[in-house]
Structure 1
Amino acid sequence: MGLLDEWGNALVEEGLREAADTFFGARTALEDEIAFFESQAAKLKTQVENIRSWFAGLNCLLGNEADTRFLFDSLGVTLDDPTLYTHKVCSLQFRRPRSFTRKGLFAKTVWEIYEPLARMIESYMHGAPYSDPLHPGRVMISVNHDHLRKLCDEINTRIKSVNESNRPSESLAFAKRMDQTQVFKESVTGGGGQTWTLDRDLAFAPLVFEDLDLPDFPDLPLDAKARATLEECCAKIFSRRRDHVDSILDEVFDPEDKTICVLDRPGR
Protein backbone atom coordinates (compact mmCIF):
# COMPACT_ATOMS: atom_id res chain seq x y z
CA MET A 1 0.00 0.00 0.00
CA GLY A 2 1.44 3.36 -1.00
CA LEU A 3 1.62 6.52 1.04
CA LEU A 4 -1.30 8.02 -0.87
CA ASP A 5 -3.48 5.01 -0.09
CA GLU A 6 -2.60 5.18 3.60
CA TRP A 7 -3.46 8.89 3.63
CA GLY A 8 -6.77 8.18 1.94
CA ASN A 9 -7.63 5.44 4.41
CA ALA A 10 -6.80 7.74 7.29
CA LEU A 11 -9.17 10.35 5.89
CA VAL A 12 -11.91 7.75 5.56
CA GLU A 13 -11.42 6.59 9.15
CA GLU A 14 -11.48 10.17 10.41
CA GLY A 15 -14.64 10.92 8.46
CA LEU A 16 -16.37 7.81 9.77
CA ARG A 17 -15.29 8.62 13.32
CA GLU A 18 -16.69 12.14 13.11
CA ALA A 19 -19.92 10.88 11.56
CA ALA A 20 -20.30 8.27 14.31
CA ASP A 21 -19.59 10.85 17.03
CA THR A 22 -22.21 13.18 15.55
CA PHE A 23 -24.84 10.48 15.14
CA PHE A 24 -24.37 8.59 18.39
CA GLY A 25 -23.50 11.70 20.39
CA ALA A 26 -26.79 13.38 19.55
CA ARG A 27 -28.78 10.24 20.33
CA THR A 28 -26.91 9.55 23.56
CA ALA A 29 -27.44 13.12 24.76
CA LEU A 30 -31.16 12.84 24.03
CA GLU A 31 -31.38 9.46 25.78
CA ASP A 32 -29.72 11.00 28.84
CA GLU A 33 -32.24 13.85 28.85
CA ILE A 34 -35.15 11.41 28.61
CA ALA A 35 -33.71 9.29 31.45
CA PHE A 36 -33.32 12.39 33.64
CA PHE A 37 -36.87 13.47 32.85
CA GLU A 38 -38.23 10.03 33.77
CA SER A 39 -36.30 10.01 37.06
CA GLN A 40 -37.70 13.43 37.99
CA ALA A 41 -41.22 12.31 37.06
CA ALA A 42 -40.83 9.27 39.32
CA LYS A 43 -39.84 11.54 42.23
CA LEU A 44 -42.84 13.77 41.66
CA LYS A 45 -45.22 10.84 41.33
CA THR A 46 -44.57 9.83 44.93
CA GLN A 47 -46.26 13.08 46.00
CA VAL A 48 -49.49 12.36 44.14
CA GLU A 49 -50.80 9.64 46.47
CA ASN A 50 -49.90 11.75 49.49
CA ILE A 51 -51.96 14.64 48.13
CA ARG A 52 -54.86 12.29 47.39
CA SER A 53 -54.63 10.98 50.94
CA TRP A 54 -54.99 14.47 52.40
CA PHE A 55 -57.93 15.20 50.11
CA ALA A 56 -59.44 11.99 51.47
CA GLY A 57 -58.83 13.25 55.00
CA LEU A 58 -60.85 16.36 54.25
CA ASN A 59 -63.64 14.20 52.84
CA CYS A 60 -63.67 12.13 56.01
CA LEU A 61 -63.88 15.20 58.24
CA LEU A 62 -66.59 16.86 56.15
CA GLY A 63 -68.52 13.63 55.89
CA ASN A 64 -69.97 13.49 52.40
CA GLU A 65 -69.49 14.65 48.82
CA ALA A 66 -72.09 17.38 49.09
CA ASP A 67 -70.30 19.12 51.95
CA THR A 68 -66.90 18.70 50.34
CA ARG A 69 -68.26 20.38 47.21
CA PHE A 70 -69.86 23.03 49.39
CA LEU A 71 -66.50 23.88 50.94
CA PHE A 72 -64.52 24.01 47.69
CA ASP A 73 -67.25 25.89 45.83
CA SER A 74 -67.28 28.47 48.63
CA LEU A 75 -63.51 28.84 48.26
CA GLY A 76 -63.84 29.28 44.49
CA VAL A 77 -61.96 26.04 43.77
CA THR A 78 -63.02 23.43 41.19
CA LEU A 79 -61.51 19.95 41.28
CA ASP A 80 -61.25 18.55 37.76
CA ASP A 81 -60.96 15.01 39.12
CA PRO A 82 -64.40 14.15 40.60
CA THR A 83 -62.92 11.32 42.69
CA LEU A 84 -61.19 13.93 44.86
CA TYR A 85 -64.61 14.84 46.27
CA THR A 86 -65.34 11.27 47.34
CA HIS A 87 -62.03 9.46 47.99
CA LYS A 88 -61.74 8.41 51.66
CA VAL A 89 -58.63 6.21 51.81
CA CYS A 90 -56.19 8.10 54.01
CA SER A 91 -53.55 7.80 56.68
CA LEU A 92 -52.80 11.14 58.28
CA GLN A 93 -51.17 12.59 61.33
CA PHE A 94 -51.67 16.27 62.04
CA ARG A 95 -51.32 18.79 64.81
CA ARG A 96 -54.00 18.73 67.47
CA PRO A 97 -55.83 22.08 67.65
CA ARG A 98 -57.50 23.49 70.76
CA SER A 99 -60.81 25.29 71.13
CA PHE A 100 -63.33 26.17 73.82
CA THR A 101 -66.25 24.89 71.71
CA ARG A 102 -66.96 21.81 69.62
CA LYS A 103 -67.93 24.03 66.69
CA GLY A 104 -64.62 25.88 66.86
CA LEU A 105 -62.73 22.63 67.30
CA PHE A 106 -64.32 21.18 64.16
CA ALA A 107 -63.34 24.22 62.06
CA LYS A 108 -59.78 24.22 63.40
CA THR A 109 -59.43 20.49 62.77
CA VAL A 110 -60.55 20.91 59.16
CA TRP A 111 -58.01 23.73 58.77
CA GLU A 112 -55.25 21.50 60.16
CA ILE A 113 -55.77 19.21 57.16
CA TYR A 114 -56.63 21.90 54.61
CA GLU A 115 -53.50 24.02 55.23
CA PRO A 116 -50.90 21.22 54.81
CA LEU A 117 -52.80 20.01 51.74
CA ALA A 118 -52.60 23.47 50.19
CA ARG A 119 -48.84 23.63 50.82
CA MET A 120 -48.31 20.13 49.40
CA ILE A 121 -50.11 21.16 46.23
CA GLU A 122 -48.07 24.36 45.97
CA SER A 123 -44.83 22.36 46.26
CA TYR A 124 -46.03 19.70 43.82
CA MET A 125 -47.26 22.16 41.20
CA HIS A 126 -44.72 24.98 41.49
CA GLY A 127 -41.82 23.68 43.61
CA ALA A 128 -40.44 24.60 47.00
CA PRO A 129 -37.16 26.42 47.67
CA TYR A 130 -34.34 24.58 49.40
CA SER A 131 -30.64 25.18 50.06
CA ASP A 132 -28.21 23.51 47.70
CA PRO A 133 -26.09 21.23 49.94
CA LEU A 134 -23.16 21.47 47.51
CA HIS A 135 -23.21 25.28 47.25
CA PRO A 136 -24.00 27.05 50.55
CA GLY A 137 -26.14 30.13 50.03
CA ARG A 138 -27.53 28.90 46.72
CA VAL A 139 -31.30 28.36 46.69
CA MET A 140 -32.79 25.66 44.49
CA ILE A 141 -36.39 24.82 43.55
CA SER A 142 -37.60 21.26 44.06
CA VAL A 143 -38.88 19.20 41.14
CA ASN A 144 -42.40 20.28 40.27
CA HIS A 145 -45.25 19.82 37.81
CA ASP A 146 -44.75 23.15 36.01
CA HIS A 147 -41.05 22.51 35.38
CA LEU A 148 -41.60 18.92 34.23
CA ARG A 149 -44.30 19.91 31.76
CA LYS A 150 -41.99 22.58 30.31
CA LEU A 151 -39.10 20.09 30.19
CA CYS A 152 -41.34 17.58 28.41
CA ASP A 153 -42.10 20.13 25.69
CA GLU A 154 -38.42 20.99 25.31
CA ILE A 155 -37.41 17.33 24.99
CA ASN A 156 -40.15 16.71 22.43
CA THR A 157 -38.75 19.59 20.37
CA ARG A 158 -35.31 17.95 20.47
CA ILE A 159 -36.82 14.56 19.63
CA LYS A 160 -38.40 16.05 16.53
CA SER A 161 -35.10 17.65 15.55
CA VAL A 162 -33.08 14.45 16.02
CA ASN A 163 -35.64 12.37 14.13
CA GLU A 164 -35.59 14.80 11.22
CA SER A 165 -31.96 15.91 11.01
CA ASN A 166 -30.07 12.95 12.40
CA ARG A 167 -31.66 10.06 10.54
CA PRO A 168 -29.95 6.65 10.77
CA SER A 169 -30.39 6.06 7.03
CA GLU A 170 -28.40 9.21 6.21
CA SER A 171 -25.57 8.23 8.55
CA LEU A 172 -25.51 4.73 7.10
CA ALA A 173 -25.53 6.10 3.55
CA PHE A 174 -22.59 8.37 4.39
CA ALA A 175 -20.64 5.44 5.80
CA LYS A 176 -21.37 3.33 2.71
CA ARG A 177 -20.20 6.07 0.38
CA MET A 178 -16.82 5.79 2.06
CA ASP A 179 -16.67 2.18 0.84
CA GLN A 180 -16.83 2.45 -2.95
CA THR A 181 -16.58 -1.32 -3.35
CA GLN A 182 -19.77 -1.78 -1.32
CA VAL A 183 -21.49 0.98 -3.28
CA PHE A 184 -20.63 -0.77 -6.54
CA LYS A 185 -21.90 -4.15 -5.28
CA GLU A 186 -25.21 -2.70 -4.18
CA SER A 187 -25.64 -0.86 -7.48
CA VAL A 188 -25.16 -4.12 -9.34
CA THR A 189 -27.28 -6.34 -7.07
CA GLY A 190 -29.93 -3.76 -6.20
CA GLY A 191 -29.17 -4.12 -2.48
CA GLY A 192 -29.30 -1.45 0.19
CA GLY A 193 -32.92 -0.49 -0.34
CA GLN A 194 -33.97 -1.75 3.07
CA THR A 195 -32.20 1.07 4.91
CA TRP A 196 -35.25 3.36 4.73
CA THR A 197 -36.90 1.35 7.52
CA LEU A 198 -34.15 2.40 9.95
CA ASP A 199 -35.59 5.89 10.24
CA ARG A 200 -38.93 4.48 11.33
CA ASP A 201 -37.58 1.71 13.54
CA LEU A 202 -34.99 3.84 15.37
CA ALA A 203 -36.99 7.06 15.64
CA PHE A 204 -37.51 8.45 19.15
CA ALA A 205 -41.15 8.38 20.26
CA PRO A 206 -42.42 11.73 21.60
CA LEU A 207 -43.05 11.95 25.34
CA VAL A 208 -46.71 12.06 26.32
CA PHE A 209 -47.00 13.97 29.59
CA GLU A 210 -50.55 12.76 30.22
CA ASP A 211 -49.32 9.16 30.32
CA LEU A 212 -47.22 9.89 33.41
CA ASP A 213 -50.24 10.07 35.74
CA LEU A 214 -49.12 13.42 37.12
CA PRO A 215 -52.43 15.27 37.45
CA ASP A 216 -52.95 19.00 37.77
CA PHE A 217 -54.16 20.06 41.20
CA PRO A 218 -55.68 23.51 41.66
CA ASP A 219 -54.02 25.97 43.99
CA LEU A 220 -55.86 26.26 47.31
CA PRO A 221 -56.07 29.75 48.84
CA LEU A 222 -54.47 30.22 52.26
CA ASP A 223 -55.19 33.86 53.08
CA ALA A 224 -57.36 35.22 55.89
CA LYS A 225 -60.39 35.36 53.59
CA ALA A 226 -60.03 31.66 52.78
CA ARG A 227 -59.81 30.75 56.46
CA ALA A 228 -62.87 32.80 57.28
CA THR A 229 -64.78 31.11 54.45
CA LEU A 230 -63.70 27.68 55.68
CA GLU A 231 -64.80 28.47 59.24
CA GLU A 232 -68.19 29.68 58.00
CA CYS A 233 -68.69 26.47 55.99
CA CYS A 234 -67.70 24.33 58.96
CA ALA A 235 -70.15 26.21 61.21
CA LYS A 236 -72.99 25.42 58.79
CA ILE A 237 -71.98 21.75 58.56
CA PHE A 238 -71.80 21.63 62.36
CA SER A 239 -75.29 23.03 62.75
CA ARG A 240 -76.99 20.59 60.38
CA ARG A 241 -74.85 17.45 60.92
CA ARG A 242 -73.90 17.52 64.58
CA ASP A 243 -73.92 13.72 64.90
CA HIS A 244 -71.30 13.35 62.17
CA VAL A 245 -69.12 16.10 63.65
CA ASP A 246 -69.16 14.52 67.11
CA SER A 247 -68.35 11.12 65.64
CA ILE A 248 -65.40 12.26 63.54
CA LEU A 249 -63.94 14.39 66.35
CA ASP A 250 -64.12 11.41 68.70
CA GLU A 251 -62.30 9.37 66.07
CA VAL A 252 -59.38 11.74 65.53
CA PHE A 253 -58.88 12.99 69.09
CA ASP A 254 -57.09 10.48 71.29
CA PRO A 255 -57.51 11.70 74.88
CA GLU A 256 -54.07 10.32 75.75
CA ASP A 257 -52.24 12.25 73.02
CA LYS A 258 -52.32 16.00 73.51
CA THR A 259 -50.28 16.95 70.43
CA ILE A 260 -51.12 14.67 67.48
CA CYS A 261 -54.38 13.67 65.80
CA VAL A 262 -54.61 10.51 63.68
CA LEU A 263 -57.04 9.76 60.87
CA ASP A 264 -56.54 6.34 59.32
CA ARG A 265 -59.05 4.96 56.80
CA PRO A 266 -57.50 2.02 54.92
CA GLY A 267 -58.86 0.85 51.58
CA ARG A 268 -61.15 -2.11 51.52
Structure 2
Amino acid sequence: MSDLSDFADQLHTEVISDMAESFFGGRKELDNALKAYSSMVKEFLPVIEHMFQAAATLRLLLLDDAGADAFCAELGIDPSRIPQAEGAPILVRESLPFSLTGGGRYNDCVTLAYQGLHEAIWEYLHGRHYDDPDQSGRKRLTMHYRRLKEIAEIINEKIHKANNERSVSTVLREVKRLDPVQMEREEMLGDVVYGDGCEKDPDMCFVPIDFDGYQFPEVEELPSPKDVKPAVKRFCSRLYAERKDEVREAIDVFTGR
Protein backbone atom coordinates (compact mmCIF):
# COMPACT_ATOMS: atom_id res chain seq x y z
CA MET A 1 0.00 0.00 0.00
CA SER A 2 2.88 2.30 0.83
CA ASP A 3 4.44 1.58 -2.55
CA LEU A 4 1.20 2.44 -4.27
CA SER A 5 0.95 5.69 -2.35
CA ASP A 6 4.53 6.57 -3.23
CA PHE A 7 3.81 5.80 -6.87
CA ALA A 8 0.66 7.94 -6.79
CA ASP A 9 2.52 10.83 -5.20
CA GLN A 10 5.31 10.56 -7.74
CA LEU A 11 2.83 10.42 -10.63
CA HIS A 12 0.97 13.40 -9.19
CA THR A 13 4.21 15.38 -9.02
CA GLU A 14 5.21 14.44 -12.56
CA VAL A 15 1.82 15.45 -13.96
CA ILE A 16 2.01 18.85 -12.29
CA SER A 17 5.60 19.26 -13.49
CA ASP A 18 4.59 18.44 -17.07
CA MET A 19 1.69 20.90 -16.89
CA ALA A 20 3.95 23.65 -15.59
CA GLU A 21 6.60 22.93 -18.20
CA SER A 22 4.02 22.98 -20.98
CA PHE A 23 2.43 26.20 -19.73
CA PHE A 24 5.55 28.21 -19.00
CA GLY A 25 7.42 26.75 -21.94
CA GLY A 26 4.62 27.91 -24.23
CA ARG A 27 4.68 31.38 -22.72
CA LYS A 28 8.45 31.58 -23.16
CA GLU A 29 8.08 30.61 -26.82
CA LEU A 30 5.50 33.35 -27.32
CA ASP A 31 7.72 35.89 -25.57
CA ASN A 32 10.55 34.95 -27.92
CA ALA A 33 8.24 35.08 -30.94
CA LEU A 34 7.06 38.60 -30.06
CA LYS A 35 10.64 39.80 -29.57
CA ALA A 36 11.66 38.22 -32.87
CA TYR A 37 8.72 39.90 -34.61
CA SER A 38 9.80 43.28 -33.29
CA SER A 39 13.25 42.64 -34.79
CA MET A 40 11.66 41.67 -38.10
CA VAL A 41 9.78 44.98 -38.22
CA LYS A 42 13.03 46.88 -37.61
CA GLU A 43 14.66 44.89 -40.40
CA PHE A 44 11.78 45.87 -42.69
CA LEU A 45 11.98 49.63 -42.08
CA PRO A 46 14.89 50.28 -44.50
CA VAL A 47 12.89 48.54 -47.22
CA ILE A 48 10.04 51.02 -46.68
CA GLU A 49 12.48 53.93 -46.68
CA HIS A 50 14.04 52.74 -49.94
CA MET A 51 10.62 52.46 -51.57
CA PHE A 52 9.79 56.05 -50.58
CA GLN A 53 13.14 57.20 -51.99
CA ALA A 54 12.42 55.43 -55.28
CA ALA A 55 8.97 57.05 -55.38
CA ALA A 56 10.51 60.48 -54.66
CA THR A 57 12.96 59.96 -57.51
CA LEU A 58 10.28 59.16 -60.08
CA ARG A 59 8.06 61.99 -58.86
CA LEU A 60 10.97 64.43 -59.21
CA LEU A 61 11.27 63.54 -62.88
CA LEU A 62 7.51 63.72 -63.43
CA LEU A 63 7.78 67.32 -62.11
CA ASP A 64 4.48 67.61 -60.19
CA ASP A 65 1.09 66.02 -59.58
CA ALA A 66 -0.11 67.02 -63.05
CA GLY A 67 2.90 65.33 -64.61
CA ALA A 68 2.41 62.22 -62.46
CA ASP A 69 -1.27 62.04 -63.42
CA ALA A 70 -0.40 62.35 -67.11
CA PHE A 71 2.28 59.67 -66.76
CA CYS A 72 -0.14 57.25 -65.10
CA ALA A 73 -2.80 57.99 -67.70
CA GLU A 74 -0.33 57.12 -70.45
CA LEU A 75 0.55 53.87 -68.70
CA GLY A 76 -3.11 53.09 -67.99
CA ILE A 77 -2.70 52.86 -64.21
CA ASP A 78 -4.29 54.66 -61.27
CA PRO A 79 -2.11 57.54 -59.95
CA SER A 80 -2.40 56.12 -56.43
CA ARG A 81 -0.15 53.23 -57.51
CA ILE A 82 2.83 55.56 -57.37
CA PRO A 83 3.41 55.98 -53.61
CA GLN A 84 3.68 59.42 -52.12
CA ALA A 85 7.30 60.32 -51.42
CA GLU A 86 6.69 61.23 -47.75
CA GLY A 87 9.51 63.82 -48.00
CA ALA A 88 12.12 61.14 -48.72
CA PRO A 89 15.39 62.10 -50.44
CA ILE A 90 15.88 60.98 -54.02
CA LEU A 91 18.21 58.23 -55.26
CA VAL A 92 20.85 60.11 -57.26
CA ARG A 93 22.00 58.45 -60.49
CA GLU A 94 25.34 59.93 -61.53
CA SER A 95 25.83 57.85 -64.68
CA LEU A 96 23.32 57.55 -67.53
CA PRO A 97 23.26 55.79 -70.88
CA PHE A 98 24.54 58.00 -73.71
CA SER A 99 21.84 59.86 -75.62
CA LEU A 100 22.10 62.25 -78.55
CA THR A 101 19.06 64.35 -77.61
CA GLY A 102 17.64 65.97 -74.51
CA GLY A 103 14.37 64.12 -75.00
CA GLY A 104 16.22 60.82 -75.24
CA ARG A 105 18.15 61.63 -72.07
CA TYR A 106 14.89 62.41 -70.27
CA ASN A 107 13.39 59.13 -71.44
CA ASP A 108 16.43 57.28 -70.06
CA CYS A 109 16.07 59.02 -66.69
CA VAL A 110 12.34 58.27 -66.35
CA THR A 111 12.88 54.68 -67.50
CA LEU A 112 15.58 54.12 -64.87
CA ALA A 113 13.50 55.78 -62.14
CA TYR A 114 10.43 53.75 -63.02
CA GLN A 115 12.43 50.53 -63.03
CA GLY A 116 13.86 51.46 -59.63
CA LEU A 117 10.38 52.00 -58.17
CA HIS A 118 9.09 48.80 -59.76
CA GLU A 119 11.90 46.84 -58.08
CA ALA A 120 11.47 48.66 -54.75
CA ILE A 121 7.74 47.86 -54.63
CA TRP A 122 8.40 44.24 -55.55
CA GLU A 123 10.97 43.97 -52.75
CA TYR A 124 8.51 45.61 -50.34
CA LEU A 125 5.75 43.12 -51.19
CA HIS A 126 7.72 39.93 -51.92
CA GLY A 127 11.29 40.42 -50.73
CA ARG A 128 14.58 40.11 -52.57
CA HIS A 129 16.94 37.14 -52.64
CA TYR A 130 20.53 37.68 -51.56
CA ASP A 131 23.56 35.52 -50.78
CA ASP A 132 23.62 34.12 -47.27
CA PRO A 133 26.78 35.53 -45.63
CA ASP A 134 26.91 32.55 -43.25
CA GLN A 135 26.50 29.74 -45.77
CA SER A 136 28.09 29.71 -49.19
CA GLY A 137 25.74 28.90 -52.06
CA ARG A 138 22.62 29.55 -50.03
CA LYS A 139 20.12 32.30 -50.80
CA ARG A 140 18.05 34.18 -48.26
CA LEU A 141 15.00 36.39 -48.70
CA THR A 142 14.75 39.89 -47.27
CA MET A 143 11.91 40.71 -44.91
CA HIS A 144 8.79 41.82 -46.75
CA TYR A 145 5.21 42.95 -46.18
CA ARG A 146 3.43 39.68 -46.91
CA ARG A 147 5.75 37.64 -44.72
CA LEU A 148 5.28 40.05 -41.81
CA LYS A 149 1.51 39.86 -42.21
CA GLU A 150 1.50 36.05 -42.32
CA ILE A 151 3.77 35.76 -39.28
CA ALA A 152 1.57 38.20 -37.33
CA GLU A 153 -1.46 36.03 -38.08
CA ILE A 154 0.33 32.88 -36.91
CA ILE A 155 1.54 34.49 -33.67
CA ASN A 156 -1.88 36.00 -32.96
CA GLU A 157 -3.49 32.60 -33.38
CA LYS A 158 -1.10 31.16 -30.81
CA ILE A 159 -1.76 34.12 -28.50
CA HIS A 160 -5.50 33.58 -28.76
CA LYS A 161 -5.03 29.94 -27.85
CA ALA A 162 -2.70 30.76 -24.95
CA ASN A 163 -5.01 33.44 -23.57
CA ASN A 164 -8.19 31.42 -23.84
CA GLU A 165 -7.20 27.79 -23.51
CA ARG A 166 -4.15 27.87 -21.26
CA SER A 167 -4.66 30.88 -19.04
CA VAL A 168 -3.12 30.97 -15.56
CA SER A 169 -6.51 30.39 -13.95
CA THR A 170 -7.15 27.39 -16.18
CA VAL A 171 -3.83 25.78 -15.27
CA LEU A 172 -4.35 26.41 -11.56
CA ARG A 173 -7.82 24.93 -11.72
CA GLU A 174 -6.43 21.80 -13.37
CA VAL A 175 -3.79 21.50 -10.68
CA LYS A 176 -6.45 21.83 -7.98
CA ARG A 177 -8.46 19.04 -9.55
CA LEU A 178 -5.50 16.73 -9.04
CA ASP A 179 -5.97 17.23 -5.31
CA PRO A 180 -9.74 16.81 -4.70
CA VAL A 181 -9.37 16.95 -0.92
CA GLN A 182 -7.72 20.35 -1.03
CA MET A 183 -10.22 21.57 -3.61
CA GLU A 184 -13.17 20.48 -1.47
CA ARG A 185 -11.68 22.22 1.56
CA GLU A 186 -11.25 25.53 -0.32
CA GLU A 187 -14.77 25.37 -1.68
CA MET A 188 -16.15 24.83 1.83
CA LEU A 189 -14.13 27.72 3.20
CA GLY A 190 -14.95 30.00 0.28
CA ASP A 191 -11.33 30.35 -0.80
CA VAL A 192 -10.16 31.51 -4.20
CA VAL A 193 -12.21 30.28 -7.13
CA TYR A 194 -10.32 29.81 -10.37
CA GLY A 195 -12.69 30.65 -13.14
CA ASP A 196 -12.59 30.18 -16.86
CA GLY A 197 -10.86 32.37 -19.38
CA CYS A 198 -8.22 35.07 -19.42
CA GLU A 199 -10.50 37.69 -17.92
CA LYS A 200 -9.56 36.30 -14.48
CA ASP A 201 -5.87 37.06 -14.95
CA PRO A 202 -5.62 39.93 -17.47
CA ASP A 203 -2.11 40.88 -16.37
CA MET A 204 -0.90 37.51 -17.63
CA CYS A 205 -2.57 37.78 -21.03
CA PHE A 206 -0.52 38.31 -24.17
CA VAL A 207 -1.40 41.35 -26.27
CA PRO A 208 -1.93 40.35 -29.92
CA ILE A 209 0.14 41.99 -32.64
CA ASP A 210 -1.73 44.99 -34.06
CA PHE A 211 -0.57 44.65 -37.65
CA ASP A 212 -2.81 47.46 -38.90
CA GLY A 213 -1.40 49.68 -36.17
CA TYR A 214 2.00 49.66 -37.88
CA GLN A 215 0.35 51.54 -40.76
CA PHE A 216 2.59 49.98 -43.38
CA PRO A 217 1.98 51.54 -46.81
CA GLU A 218 -0.64 49.83 -48.95
CA VAL A 219 0.90 49.46 -52.40
CA GLU A 220 0.35 47.42 -55.56
CA GLU A 221 2.83 45.98 -58.01
CA LEU A 222 3.55 48.18 -61.01
CA PRO A 223 3.45 46.92 -64.61
CA SER A 224 6.71 45.51 -65.90
CA PRO A 225 9.09 48.19 -67.26
CA LYS A 226 9.31 46.17 -70.47
CA ASP A 227 5.53 46.26 -70.93
CA VAL A 228 5.26 50.04 -70.49
CA LYS A 229 8.37 51.03 -72.40
CA PRO A 230 6.46 52.48 -75.42
CA ALA A 231 4.08 54.40 -73.14
CA VAL A 232 6.98 55.88 -71.15
CA LYS A 233 8.65 57.00 -74.35
CA ARG A 234 5.48 58.71 -75.59
CA PHE A 235 5.01 60.51 -72.29
CA CYS A 236 8.63 61.68 -72.09
CA SER A 237 8.59 62.98 -75.67
CA ARG A 238 5.46 65.00 -75.01
CA LEU A 239 6.40 66.40 -71.60
CA TYR A 240 9.93 67.30 -72.72
CA ALA A 241 8.51 69.30 -75.61
CA GLU A 242 6.03 71.10 -73.32
CA ARG A 243 8.23 71.79 -70.25
CA LYS A 244 11.81 71.51 -71.45
CA ASP A 245 13.45 73.84 -68.88
CA GLU A 246 11.74 72.17 -65.89
CA VAL A 247 12.67 68.74 -67.19
CA ARG A 248 16.32 69.74 -67.57
CA GLU A 249 16.39 71.05 -64.00
CA ALA A 250 14.92 67.77 -62.73
CA ILE A 251 17.53 65.80 -64.70
CA ASP A 252 20.32 67.88 -63.13
CA VAL A 253 19.02 67.03 -59.64
CA PHE A 254 18.62 63.36 -60.59
CA THR A 255 22.22 63.17 -61.80
CA GLY A 256 23.61 65.09 -58.80
CA ARG A 257 24.62 68.25 -60.66
Q: Please report the TM-score for the alignment, with normalisation by the length of structure 1.
A: 0.81
Give the C-alpha shift of residue 186 in structure 1: 2.3
Distance 1:32 1:89 in 2: 33
Map 1:205-244 to 2 at 5 A. Answer: 205-244=207-246
Distance 2:81 2:111 in 1: 22
Q: Which amino acid aligns with 2:16?
A: L
Distance 1:139 1:23 in 2: 36
Give the C-alpha shift of residue 82 in structure 1: 8.2
SS in 2 for 1:93: coil
Any conservation in 1 of the 2:99–2:105 contact (CA below 8 Å)? yes
Higher strand share: 1
Q: Which 4+ stretches in 1 moved above 4 angstroms? A: 2-8, 79-83, 178-182
Give the C-alpha shift of residue 231 in structure 1: 1.8
Give the C-alpha shift of residue 96 in structure 1: 2.1
User: Percent identity over the alignment?
Assistant: 24
After superposition, the Cα gap between the structure-2 partners of 1:201 and 1:88, relative to the gap in structure 1 and judged at 3 Å, is closer
Map 1:81-160 to 2 at 5 A. Answer: 84=84, 87-97=86-96, 98-160=98-160
SS in 2 for 1:130: strand
- Residues 82-115 of structure 1: per-residue CA shift (max 9 Å, x gap): 871x755414222421311111111111222221
Any conservation in 2 of the 1:78–1:218 contact (CA below 8 Å)? no
Distance 2:87 2:111 in 1: 17
Specify every segment of 5 or more residues in structure 2 that has no aligned partner in the other structure, as ranges.
none
Give the C-alpha shift of residue 184 in structure 1: 4.4
SS in 2 for 1:69: helix
Partner of 2:61: 61
Distance 2:18 2:163 in 1: 19
Q: Does 1:262 align with 2:245?
A: no
SS in 2 for 1:140: strand
Specify every segment of 5 or more residues in structure 1 that has no aligned partner in the other structure, as ranges.
253-260, 264-268
Q: Which amino acid aligns with 1:92?
A: L
SS in 2 for 1:92: coil
Partner of 1:247: 249
Point out the more displaced range, 73-82 or 210-219.
73-82
Distance 1:137 1:24 in 2: 39
- Residues 154-182 of structure 1: per-residue CA shift (max 9 Å, x gap): 22222222223212211011223445565
Distance 2:25 2:154 in 1: 18
SS in 2 for 1:94: coil
Distance 1:235 1:216 in 2: 31
Any conservation in 2 of the 1:79–1:218 contact (CA below 8 Å)? no
After superposition, the Cα gap between the structure-2 partners of 1:31 and 1:200, relative to the gap in structure 1 and judged at 3 Å, is same
Map 1:145-224 to 2 at 5 A. Answer: 145-179=145-179, 182-193=182-193, 197-224=199-226
Q: Which amino acid aligns with 1:243?
A: D
Distance 1:8 1:194 in 2: 25
Q: Which amino acid aligns with 1:90?
A: P
Point out the more displaced range, 195-204 or 35-44.
195-204
- Residues 132-161 of structure 1: per-residue CA shift (max 9 Å, x gap): 344433333222112222222222222222
After superposition, the Cα gap between the structure-2 partners of 1:172 and 1:81, relative to the gap in structure 1 and judged at 3 Å, is farther
Any conservation in 1 of the 2:170–2:195 contact (CA below 8 Å)? no
Distance 1:140 1:82 in 2: 28
SS in 2 for 1:207: coil
- Residues 46-94 of structure 1: per-residue CA shift (max 9 Å, x gap): 211221122112222221111112212332333548871x755414222
